[in-house]
Structure 1
C-alpha cells in the first residue's frame, strides 16, 4: 500500500503485435482486480523497440512472441497457441478432419507475419518456394480473415483466433503434421521490483489456467 505522501505506482507494459488478446485481457483484468492502486500504461511496440525500452528503463515489463537473446533481459514463457488452418465456406478440403501443409500446396496461403512461428514458416518455405508466391503476407489477422472468407485462399493462424472468427464464415481444421506453436513470452530486466514480480506471478497464473 502507498502512504499519503507517495505517488501511485504505474506499471509500464510494452506489448508487441500478435500476442493473444484473450489471455492478455485476462491478465490485465486480474491485475486490476488484485492491485487496483497500481495502474498500467500500455505501449504497442515492435520487438526491437521492446528490448531497447526494457534495457533503457522506459518499460517495466514486456509481452512478446519472440525470445530475447539479450543477456540483460529475463525471459519467461507464458501461454502457447497451436496454429491451425482457416478455410473459406464450401471449400473442397472441408471434408477432411485434419490437414497437412502438403494439402495446402495448390492454394494461396495467407500468413500474418506478426504471429511468429519459425518452424511453420520454415516448412512453408520448403514446400512453397518464394518465386511461386503461394504464401501471401498480410498485415493483420483481420486482413487474413477477409481474404479467406472471400474464398481467395487458406489462412494459417492461431487456433483460438480462427474459432473466434467463425461468424465471418471461417472454418478451422487442425494441422496434422505439427504441432506448430506460437509461444508468448514475458520479458523484463533482472532488476528486482515488487510490482513487476507480482505482475509476473499473475501472468504465470493466467498461463496455467489457459
Structure 2
C-alpha cells in the first residue's frame, strides 16, 4: 500500500519525438500500480516543457532535450540508435550497413524533433557545399512519405523505422557514429512529492528492462 498521496493529478509533459513504445509501457505501469492518481497529459515543444517545469505548470517531463538549468533534475531513460530508412528499390539497399558518407549524394529527410547533435554535425561536415541535401520535415510521417516514394532516405530512431512496416520501407544501421537519441526524464530539484518520486522510479524501471513490464 502506498502512503496517502499528496496529489490526485500528475501533470505530465511530453515533447515530440519521444519513442512511444517505451512511453506507453511506462504509462500502462503507472495506471496499473497507482490508479488513484489521474494523469493530465500535455504534448509541448521541448523548450516549452522545460519552462513549464520551472514555472510549475507541469510536474514532470519526458523529452529528447537535456536540461542545463541547475534547478531541473534531468536523467537519461532509454537510448535509441539512429538508422537509415530506405525504399525497397533504392540502390543502397544492397549494403548491410551505411555511413553518412554513403548518403551524401542523396536527399536526406530529417525529423528535427529527434534531437541528435552529433548526427547533425556530421551531416553538415560531409554534405556537398554547393547544394542542400538535408530536408527538414515536421513529422516522422512526412519523412516516411518521401522515403517510401523513393525521393531519398530518412534518418530516424531504429525502433521507429522497424515499427513502421506499413510504409513499405526498410531499415539499415549506421556504421559510423555512434549516433544516439536520448530520452530524458525531468523535474524540478526542489520538488519533493511521493507521487512524482514513484513515477520517476517506474520510468527508471521501464528504462532498465528496455521493454514493457
So what's the TM-score if we normalise by structure 2? 0.94
| CA separation of 1:54 and 1:130: change in aligned 2, threshold 3 A | farther
Please say if residues 104 and 128 of structure 2, whose CA atoms lie closer than 8 Å, have aligned partners that are also in contact.
no
Aligned position for 2:157: 158
Q: What is the alpha-carbon distance in structure 2 between the residues aligned to residue 98 and residue 198 of structure 1?
A: 41
What is the CA deviation profile of residues 87-106 of structure 1, one whole-angstrom value per residue up to 9, with x for unaligned ones?
01211111110000000011
Structure 1 residue 123 corresponds to structure 2 residue 95: no
Aligned position for 1:203: 203
Query: What is the DSSP-based 3-state SS (H/G/I as helix, E as strand, rest coil) of the residue aligned with 2:177?
Result: coil
Q: What is the alpha-carbon distance in structure 2 between the residues aligned to residue 7 and residue 64 of structure 1?
A: 25
| CA separation of 1:51 and 1:177: change in aligned 2, threshold 3 A | same
Aligned position for 2:26: 27
Query: What is the DSSP-based 3-state SS (H/G/I as helix, E as strand, rest coil) of the residue aligned with 1:41?
Result: strand
Shift of 1:2: 8.0
So what's the TM-score if we normalise by structure 1? 0.95
Structure 2 unpaired stretches of 5+ = none
| CA separation of 1:81 and 1:130: change in aligned 2, threshold 3 A | farther
Q: What is the alpha-carbon distance in structure 2 between the residues aligned to residue 69 and residue 8 of structure 1?
A: 28
Shift of 1:129: 5.0
What is the CA deviation profile of residues 40-99 of structure 1, one whole-angstrom value per residue up to 9, with x for unaligned ones?
000111122111111111110000001101111001110000000000121111111000
Q: What is the alpha-carbon distance in structure 2 between the residues aligned to residue 165 and residue 81 of structure 1?
A: 15
Aligned position for 2:185: 186
Aligned position for 2:103: 104
Please say if residues 6 and 193 of structure 2, whose CA atoms lie closer than 8 Å, have aligned partners that are also in contact.
no
Aligned length: 208
Please say if residues 6 and 195 of structure 2, whose CA atoms lie closer than 8 Å, have aligned partners that are also in contact.
no
With 45-54 and 154-163 compared, the bigger mean Cα shift is at 45-54
Please say if residues 10 and 59 of structure 2, whose CA atoms lie closer than 8 Å, have aligned partners that are also in contact.
yes
| CA separation of 1:7 and 1:60: change in aligned 2, threshold 3 A | closer
Q: What is the alpha-carbon distance in structure 2 between the residues aligned to residue 163 and residue 91 of structure 1?
A: 17
Q: What is the alpha-carbon distance in structure 2 between the residues aligned to residue 199 and residue 26 of structure 1?
A: 12
Structural mapping, 1:55-74, within 5 Å:
55-74=54-73
Runs of 4+ in 1 over 2 A off after TM superposition: none
With 129-138 and 15-24 compared, the bigger mean Cα shift is at 129-138
Please say if residues 102 and 127 of structure 1, whose CA atoms lie closer than 8 Å, have aligned partners that are also in contact.
yes
| CA separation of 1:50 and 1:125: change in aligned 2, threshold 3 A | same
